[in-house]
Amino acid sequence: MKILIHDYSGHPFQAQLSRELARRGHDVVHSTCVAYVSGKGNLAGDGAGGLRFVTIGDRTVLKKDAYVPRLFQEIRLGFELARQVRREKPDVALLGNLPIPTLCVAALVSRALRIPWVLWHQDITAIALRSFAADGVSKLMGIAAKVFEKGERWAARRAAAIVVIADSFVRVHQEWGTADKVTVIPNWAPLDEIRPVARANAWSAAHGLTGVRTVLYSGTLGLKHNPVLLVRLVERLHEPDEPVRLVVVNDGPAVPVIRQAAAARGIDLTLLPFQPYDRLPEVLGTGDVLVVLLAADAGEFSVPSKTLSYLCAGRPVLGLMPPDNLAAKLISQAGSAVFPPEESSLDRAAAWVREVLADPARAESLGKESRALAEREFALEDCASRFEEILGEANGARG
């Protein structure tokens, strides 16, 4: 088959799936959006084994908090993706992480071209927008939530098949009348690319972090996730004779918020943009404890992929997130800790971090269990086979 896989975000495990499908003999075009700023995976190796990497968008960064310009930009990106689909003429397309305007345009054109496509449903956008509207983040959100939910449902109904990342998504698809074509395949992380490394490494040395006790966050971070919790957590760990440094690797609207909060509280802070993917094992290895943030109302319909990378890196992980989230369950299975993402939980969370920092043997044991869990759960062969079957069935039903 000729398969076009579009992952708007450019995450590591989607690229790994494309490589595996190409290794199995398929002609794979892997597409990403360069306008979306996030931690990217290994998007190199063009022409190797039937795999090509292509992009949509230009270097004009998508401004996530400029809602009206962002809407028009996402519509334009939808048409650009549609033109890419028309040029490539795949037998089947797999579309994931797309904003709703981009998804709807791509779905409409794919239908006109009679190219079957599969929705890889990573987040239910309408749920997130409803939450923003309820919190009064923007007056436009109430209207947008209703419109985007209709668009998301419309697109889901046009997909030949749907892959969701958690059982909780199925209820929404039952409401939409699309549950009959849903398959649940949890996300994973590339074990061969994100491996445990020594705590003292070239990256830690380059940033003055070797021998410094660190709490580290790396990945996408929205204001809705309350990034100030990171600062307040480290504030509770502060001891004059044994300081703890907060390390945040991120680009986006949370950066000035964290910088200001850290300065106001006298917290040692290392704030860096997203790092090259080949340095990610060293970045994550530099954290004595790796932190995941997820807002309470996002817990059911979002599984932060950074958690999966953290586990692969073999480090202790602290989740400030709803305990019933799939990623939270993985953290707990690995023996690490999960607390609700609330100010009232920070004393308990800080106590757990303090215990880990004070006990190197325990930290090492938790790191080994993180990696062991990742190796048990993130088997690529089975995931790739299930995607291969779904894509083949969608192609077979063509016409």
Q: Quick: pLDDT tens for 133-162.
A: 555 555 556 677 788 889 999 999 999 999
Which pLDDT score is estimated for 149?
86
For residues 90 and 156, membership in a common domain is answered with yes
Q: Contact at 8 Å (CB) between 398 and 91? A: yes
Element (H, E) at 228: helix 228-237
HSE-up of residue 121 (Cα within 13 Å, Cβ side): 29
Model confidence over 291-306: pLDDT tens digits?
999 888 765 667 788 9
Element (H, E) at 161: strand 161-164
Query: Distance between terminal CA atoms of the chain?
Result: 16
- CATH code of 324's domain: 3.40.50.2000
197, part of any domain: no
* Three-class SS state of 124: coil
For residues 170 and 290, membership in a common domain is answered with no
For residues 220 and 352, membership in a common domain is answered with yes
Nearest Cα residue to 8 out of 71, 100, 72: 100
DSSP annotation of 239 reads -
Give the separation between CA 90 and CA 397, rounded to whole angstroms. Answer: 14
Task: Calculate the alpha carbon distances from 238 to 9, 213, 233, 291 in Å.
Answer: 35, 11, 9, 17
Nearest Cα residue to 67 out of 161, 2, 142, 10: 142
Looking at the DSSP assignment, which residues form a beta bridge with residue 2? 27
Which pLDDT score is estimated for 226?
87
Q: Quick one: pLDDT band at residue 211, thresholds 50, 70, 90?
A: very high
196, part of any domain: no
Q: Which residue's entry shows tokens 């996402």? A: 74
For residues 138 and 234, membership in a common domain is answered with no
For residues 155 and 209, membership in a common domain is answered with no
Q: Report which of residues 378 and 48 the model is more confident about.
A: 378
Q: Which two tokens stand for residue 393?
A: 């069935």
Residue 345 has pLDDT above 80, yes or no: yes
Residue 171 has pLDDT above 80, yes or no: yes
Q: Which two tokens stand for residue 392?
A: 């083949």
Give the separation between CA 328 and CA 333, rounded to whole angstroms. Answer: 9
Mean of the per-residue pLDDT values for the chain? 89
Q: Which two tokens stand for residue 239?
A: 């001891």
Which pLDDT score is estimated for 120?
96
Q: Which domain holds residue 151?
A: 2-188+379-396
Q: Which two tokens stand for residue 72?
A: 């028009």
Task: Write the burial class of residue 393 (CB in 10 Å: 0-12 exposed, 13-18 middle, 19+ buried).
Answer: middle
Residue 208 has pLDDT above 60, yes or no: yes
For residues 324 and 294, membership in a common domain is answered with yes
Longest distance between any two alpha carbons in the chain, whole Å: 70
DSSP 84-148: HHHHH--SEEEEES--HHHHHHHHHHHHHTT--EEEEE---HHHHHHHHHHTTS-HHHHHHHHHH
47, part of any domain: yes
For residues 114 and 214, membership in a common domain is answered with no
Sign (positive or negative) of CA dihedral 361, 363, 364, 368: positive
Percent of the chain with pLDDT over 90: 71
Q: Quick one: pLDDT band at residue 77, thresholds 50, 70, 90?
A: very high
For residues 149 and 215, membership in a common domain is answered with no
194, part of any domain: no
For residues 286 and 388, membership in a common domain is answered with no
∠ CA 112-114-119 to the nearest 5 degrees? 95
125, part of any domain: yes
For residues 275 and 341, membership in a common domain is answered with yes
Q: Name the domain count of the chain.
A: 2
For residues 166 and 243, membership in a common domain is answered with no
Residue 234 has pLDDT above 90, yes or no: yes
Give the separation between CA 384 and CA 311, rounded to whole angstroms. Answer: 20
317, part of any domain: yes
* Strand pairing category for 214-218 and 182-184: unpaired
For residues 346 and 384, membership in a common domain is answered with no
How many Cβ atoms from other residues are within 10 Å of residue 133's Cβ?
Answer: 18
195, part of any domain: no
Which pLDDT score is estimated for 260?
96
* Three-class SS state of 289: strand
Q: Contact at 8 Å (CB) between 221 and 293? A: yes
